[in-house]
Structure 1
Amino acid sequence: MRKKELKVVAAFHTTADAMAAEQACAVHGVPGRLIPVPRTLSAGCGIAWCSPIEERERLVGALEADGVEYEQIAEVAV
């Protein structure tokens, strides 16, 4: 079993927001990927963006710069 690491996870209200976040992160060079929302969080669409913990500020900046709405951003072991 893979060891869990602390990551920054952004959860979204809609799938469209999750897809927009993926695009925003690609444009702004924020590493990460879309994942199912971890059980410790809840979100409307069930999809979240997961990035290394040290990328939190860049992630928030990319989402806000592109006007992507998010439900919550949390640090979670995934």
Structure 2
Amino acid sequence: MLRKKKPAFIIAFDATTQAMATDKLCAKNGLPGRLIPVPREITAGCGFAWKSAPEDKTILIEALTKEGIEWASTHILEI
């Protein structure tokens, strides 16, 4: 049986270092989400993206901005 798709907040990165810094920051601070391969629906330079629930968008963007971590784009996708 196929898994039902649900909305997800996706942060795409241009560089692997940005994706790894996000993973480290989120693990250190107990922030939600995980690294995933970039979904087919979008493009990103490094091939990694951060996935979390749509309601986590504000807290994640604030944390990345405060830490000075840049990202390429953000999306809400059904994955």
The bucket for the TM-score relative to the shorter chain is: over 0.9
1:1-78 to 2 correspondences below 5 Å: 1-78=2-79
Larger Cα Rg: Structure 1 or Structure 2? Answer: 2
Structure 1-normalised TM-score? Answer: 0.93
Q: Among the aligned pairs, what percent are the same residue? A: 44
Gaps of 5+ in 2: none
* Paired positions, count: 78
Residues 28 and 62 in structure 1, CA contact (< 8 A), matched pair in contact too: no
Kindly state the Cα deviation for residue 24 of structure 1 after the two structures are TM-superposed: 1.7
2:8 partner SS:
strand
Kindly state the Cα deviation for residue 17 of structure 1 after the two structures are TM-superposed: 0.5
Kindly state the Cα deviation for residue 62 of structure 1 after the two structures are TM-superposed: 1.1
7-16 or 26-35, which moves further after superposition?
26-35
Gaps of 5+ in 1: none
